[in-house]
Amino acid sequence: MTDDLLEENQLQVPEGYTRMEWFQGFGRQIGPLYQRDPGDGSYTRAFPVCEHHTNGMGNCHGGMLMAFADMAFGHAVSLHANRYWVTVRLLTDFVSGAKKGEWVEGTAEITGESDGFYNVKGRIWVGDRTIMTGTALFKGMGERPKRK
- Chain residues that interact with a second copy, rule: CB under 8 A: 24-30, 51-56, 60-64, 66-71, 86-94
Which is nearer to a second copy, 16 or 116 (by Cβ)? 116
Q: Which long-range contacts (CB under 8 A, 24 or more apart) does 15-23 make?
A: 17/46, 20/45
The two beta strands, 103-114 and 44-48, are: antiparallel
Query: CB of residue 144 vs a second copy: minimum separation in angstroms?
Result: 11
First-to-last alpha carbon distance for the chain, in angstroms, is 42
Among 90, 81, 70, 72, smallest CA distance to 116 is for 81
Which is nearer to a second copy, 93 or 143 (by Cβ)? 93
Which is nearer to a second copy, 21 or 93 (by Cβ)? 93
Which is nearer to a second copy, 90 or 110 (by Cβ)? 90
Q: Given its phi and psi angles, is residue 16 left (phi above 0), alpha (psi -120 to 50 degrees) or beta?
A: left
Which is nearer to a second copy, 69 or 108 (by Cβ)? 69
Query: CB of residue 53 vs a second copy: minimum separation in angstroms?
Result: 5
Query: CB of residue 61 vs a second copy: minimum separation in angstroms?
Result: 4
d(CA 122, CA 134): 5
Query: CB of residue 26 vs a second copy: minimum separation in angstroms?
Result: 4
Query: CB of residue 29 vs a second copy: minimum separation in angstroms?
Result: 4
Are 26 and 63 spatial neighbours (Cβ–Cβ below 8 Å)? no
